[in-house]
Structure 1
Amino acid sequence: MMFAAPRFLAVDDKPEHLTAILETFQRLGAPCMGIQFDAAQPLEKIAFRGVRALFLDLHLITGVKTTDDKQHFANIASILEENISEIGGPFILILWTEHAQLAAALTDYLDQSLDADKPWCRPLAVMALAKEKFINVGTGATEAADELRQAVEAALDGNPQLAALIGWETDVLAAAGETLSSLTSLVPAASRTTAAFGGALDEVLSRLAVEAVGKKHVADDPRAAVTGALAPILADRIVNQDGGGPTAALWAKAVTRHGQKQLPQATPAEAGGINRMLHVAVAGPERIAPADWGAVSEVPADIWTDKALTDVLGVDIDHLLRAEFKVHRDHHALCRPRLVRIGAVCDHAQKRPGPIPFLFAVEIPGTVARLAGPDGKVVPPAAEWRSPVLTLPTVADPFVLHVNSRFEMNRPAAATGAWKAIYRLREQLLMQLIGHTAAYVGRPGIVRLP
């Protein structure tokens, strides 16, 4: 997708009212996309993929007369459930209506009626702007652009957390623009002509890609190669932007519960969700292959048998789960065997030939108690590395990924094509695992004096 998704979106069945609000935003210098509602035509879902403030006319269905407005409320709920993107991010709903007093009733309706399995389609807040205060509802003429700007800002400021995140998103876009500017500044002045600029920029991008992954591997994924070179620059610009003045004041209002007395202990599910966001890339939104560095895959059925496992590891399934991963036989079926791709990142980036190392692992749900020793204590093997508690979109119950550094299997990348990758450990967490494995297998047996 070449163009960024609109952050402000307005939906109205009356073209003159839609034009009025779009013209107002244009005069304010803020881009807003308008959609004329037609009950006979589905809305373009792609337009909603990044919305932060959604302006909806309450009465989009013409000809419907009802005393409690439930049919109009149901229509709005349907629009949200069918169009808000699962990965689109938070938004507020602003009723653009002549009946602003109905905002509270709509809020109650949405709280009770929106699909519980689609939490992303719930607005963080429902507010109302009375059309007649800002436009001529008869002609659609714009009458109070500055007042509308103030009303929109007040609506966003009413939720400082959302306002701070929208500001952060704007900072990221600004940092991306600065990164592109610094990139294009590398093109010599003599080459900044219509005919020569593209070729000169190609040379710059090609040099960056070669330095990132090596000349032989750029063609495999040029985008990933250039991104690898630019990502550290972008991250540095984001982190080191000026955050003082009004920005600091806004963030101070948005983040207030960090004190010990105010912040309740996270539940396992809450901790698992945060850890997933920070440390796990999930297959689906991100492309993950079993041979990718840090990929966590299902153990193929032809390997997860007593005979195959004994050939590869020297132990059968029962021994691996019970003696090594300390899981009682009654709970074996609750645990999920996995293979974690480790190895040198340069070998992965440059696609060097040779077998790829995989470590055997098990996802153990938080409700499963591990086997204790005679003293009543659970003592995992020194070879074991444990992830923080995690959850996945397809696995709501929190679990911990247990990896044993002694049980390794090697396969060439071509042999993993039929495997199913579930997620990928991001670099910081993966490096912990690789560091643990390196320390375990490389113990020199030094005798130290007290």
Structure 2
Amino acid sequence: MFTRARYVVIDDKETELKQLTDCLRKIGAPCLPLLYDVEQGIDARHLGGVRLLFLDLHLTTGGQSTDVAQASGVIAGILEAGIDPAAGPYVIILWTTHQPHREAFAAYIMGNVDPTRRPLAILSLDKNQYLAGDAGEKLMADIGKVIETDPRLRALLDWEREVLKAAGTTLAEVGALVSAEDRTATRFSERFDEVLSLLASEAIGAENAKADPYSAVNAALMPILSDRIANQRIEPDSKAIWQSAVTKIGNVLPPSLPEAAKLNSMLHVATSTSEELKPGAWGAISLLPAAEQEDGPMKERFNLPAKPLLSGLFCMSVKTERAVSKLCVLRVGASCDYAQNRRGPVPFMLGAIMPATAQRREENLPKAEFLTPALMIEGFDFPVRIAFNAHLTVTMVPNEFNGWAPLCRLRESLLMQITSHGAHHATRPAIISFSADAH
């Protein structure tokens, strides 16, 4: 229900933990203090959404101040247990009296912690400067200076701030639909319910909205949020922040094929690690089960035999490349039909997942084909492309495909490009005409 803490402080000394926490709170930075216990440690789940993690280097009271490896090992265990790779980058700010140990600590963490859980940067502050008196303003200034030493960190924090501001403004717009006379203790919440219910019903239809209110409201608000993020007034210093953070535009070497595939997948592919995938979801890609690739089912469904499909229809000329390729289906169709959960047969397009460098007979490629950019997809340890043939679009009822396990889901921009290609192919006009050229 609540947003996970973005600023977390960990110390084994309660007085010093309180001192830093009070300083952060006085400058308006809501933080979560965690007192480290030698026997019980901390509840590492609290690190699941952290952006700035303030750490005392030596969390074991009485430990040898020169034993950096032991102290670093304790913290490495905390990071392994608590950091969520899906929550985005974070930064460690060492809150320590042993400043010279920062480099040794950073080397240990970057060499021993799982790469997906390593911090973007490891910075440091001398806690001796903030333990006496009201050091809140000095702390705020010094944290700002430390963060500015890494322009990329500053830019990421700025982007997250803008997204949160856009989300708040979107909620304010929805709230503004409740009139002043309805903003009473007995009416405000109920009226807000009515506004959300209207939005949900219009987005995907009343019956579907009842079954999934979150998706319905999300469908109504996401376009507003996206527009806000793209067009809202940004803070005056944001332009300078981004100019200092993004400095190599036009001067970066082209990515290798694996690097390009990872970039493309980040932009165009959603995986099961970030969402619950279903084979009937709009844009879901599922492998065609082995039983469905026998000649009987293939001829019944596509009017084609199964065996020569990769070499014939998909024009793959190398046997070893065909051996590692897989047939799949993509859930296509109108977005409004999917959003409104329209009953009836569901459309799927046949495709082949093949090595991105696969050799193909280019002169024979069908015009009905759409070839994706290089992608990295779970289950394949090499970059792939997926060739979809719009001519082989079939419909199935849920009982036929509900048991299939989807690999991933294509995001809307790539999915709409494939859908548009299929629609254009299906509606292309033809005329009878003659010319003087020899046939």
| Residue 27 of structure 1: aligned partner | 26
Question: Aligned to 2:265, what secondary structure does the other structure show?
Answer: helix
Residue ranges of structure 2 left out of the alignment (5+ in a row): none
CA shift for structure 1 position 405: 1.3
| Residue 180 of structure 2: aligned partner | 189
Specify whether residues 43 and 361 from structure 1 end up closer, same or farther in structure 2 by C-alpha distance, changes over 3 A only: farther
| Residue 160 of structure 1: aligned partner | 151
| Residue 336 of structure 1: aligned partner | 326
What is the alpha-carbon root mean square deviation over aligned residues? 2.0
- Indicate if the aligned counterparts of 2:92 and 2:122 stay in contact, CA closer than 8 A: yes
1:42-441 correspondence runs (5 A): 43-65=42-64, 67-115=66-114, 119-136=115-132, 142-243=133-234, 245-259=236-250, 262-327=251-316, 328-367=318-357, 369-372=358-361, 377=362, 379-392=364-377, 395-441=380-426
CA shift for structure 1 position 315: 2.4
Alpha-carbon distance between aligned partners in 2 of 1:332 and 1:435, rounded to the nearest angstrom: 28
- Indicate if the aligned counterparts of 2:344 and 2:397 stay in contact, CA closer than 8 A: yes
What letter corresponds to residue 249 of structure 1 in structure 2? A
CA shift for structure 1 position 444: 1.3
Specify whether residues 51 and 321 from structure 1 end up closer, same or farther in structure 2 by C-alpha distance, changes over 3 A only: same
CA shift for structure 1 position 288: 2.0
Specify whether residues 62 and 395 from structure 1 end up closer, same or farther in structure 2 by C-alpha distance, changes over 3 A only: farther
Question: Aligned to 1:397, what secondary structure does the other structure show?
Answer: coil
CA shift for structure 1 position 216: 2.4
What letter corresponds to residue 305 of structure 1 in structure 2? E
Alpha-carbon distance between aligned partners in 2 of 1:449 and 1:91, rounded to the nearest angstrom: 67
Alpha-carbon distance between aligned partners in 1 of 2:44 and 2:365, rounded to the nearest angstrom: 49
Aligned residue-pair number? 434
Alpha-carbon distance between aligned partners in 1 of 2:366 and 2:37, rounded to the nearest angstrom: 64
Question: Aligned to 2:86, what secondary structure does the other structure show?
Answer: coil
Q: TM-score, with normalisation over the residues of structure 1?
A: 0.92
Specify whether residues 446 and 35 from structure 1 end up closer, same or farther in structure 2 by C-alpha distance, changes over 3 A only: farther
Specify whether residues 447 and 26 from structure 1 end up closer, same or farther in structure 2 by C-alpha distance, changes over 3 A only: farther
- Indicate if the aligned counterparts of 2:321 and 2:355 stay in contact, CA closer than 8 A: no
Alpha-carbon distance between aligned partners in 1 of 2:205 and 2:90, rounded to the nearest angstrom: 42
CA shift for structure 1 position 67: 4.0
Alpha-carbon distance between aligned partners in 1 of 2:380 and 2:37, rounded to the nearest angstrom: 38
| Residue 18 of structure 1: aligned partner | 17
- Indicate if the aligned counterparts of 1:298 and 1:421 stay in contact, CA closer than 8 A: yes
CA shift for structure 1 position 124: 1.5
Specify whether residues 321 and 195 from structure 1 end up closer, same or farther in structure 2 by C-alpha distance, changes over 3 A only: same
- Indicate if the aligned counterparts of 1:269 and 1:396 stay in contact, CA closer than 8 A: no
CA shift for structure 1 position 449: 10
Alpha-carbon distance between aligned partners in 2 of 1:62 and 1:392, rounded to the nearest angstrom: 47
Cα deviations across residues 191-225 of structure 1 (Å, max 9, x unaligned)? 11111112111111111111111122211211111
Alpha-carbon distance between aligned partners in 1 of 2:36 and 2:433, rounded to the nearest angstrom: 77
Specify whether residues 40 and 338 from structure 1 end up closer, same or farther in structure 2 by C-alpha distance, changes over 3 A only: farther
Alpha-carbon distance between aligned partners in 2 of 1:22 and 1:172, rounded to the nearest angstrom: 26
CA shift for structure 1 position 185: 1.0
Cα deviations across residues 327-349 of structure 1 (Å, max 9, x unaligned)? 23332231122110011122211
CA shift for structure 1 position 143: 4.1
What letter corresponds to residue 35 of structure 1 in structure 2? L
What letter corresponds to residue 173 of structure 2 in structure 1? S
Q: TM-score, with normalisation over the residues of structure 2?
A: 0.94
Alpha-carbon distance between aligned partners in 2 of 1:67 and 1:243, rounded to the nearest angstrom: 46
What letter corresponds to residue 299 of structure 1 in structure 2? L
| Residue 36 of structure 1: aligned partner | 35
- Indicate if the aligned counterparts of 2:96 and 2:125 stay in contact, CA closer than 8 A: yes
Specify whether residues 362 and 41 from structure 1 end up closer, same or farther in structure 2 by C-alpha distance, changes over 3 A only: farther
How much identity, in percent, do the aligned residues show?
Answer: 37
Alpha-carbon distance between aligned partners in 1 of 2:234 and 2:190, rounded to the nearest angstrom: 38
- Indicate if the aligned counterparts of 1:43 and 1:83 stay in contact, CA closer than 8 A: no
Question: Aligned to 2:40, what secondary structure does the other structure show?
Answer: coil
CA shift for structure 1 position 410: 1.7
- Indicate if the aligned counterparts of 2:329 and 2:351 stay in contact, CA closer than 8 A: yes
Specify whether residues 243 and 44 from structure 1 end up closer, same or farther in structure 2 by C-alpha distance, changes over 3 A only: same
- Indicate if the aligned counterparts of 1:90 and 1:120 stay in contact, CA closer than 8 A: no
Question: Aligned to 2:382, what secondary structure does the other structure show?
Answer: strand
Alpha-carbon distance between aligned partners in 2 of 1:26 and 1:12, rounded to the nearest angstrom: 16
Specify whether residues 395 and 13 from structure 1 end up closer, same or farther in structure 2 by C-alpha distance, changes over 3 A only: farther
Alpha-carbon distance between aligned partners in 1 of 2:337 and 2:140, rounded to the nearest angstrom: 54
Alpha-carbon distance between aligned partners in 2 of 1:397 and 1:9, rounded to the nearest angstrom: 38
Deviates more, 1:392-401 or 1:14-23: 392-401
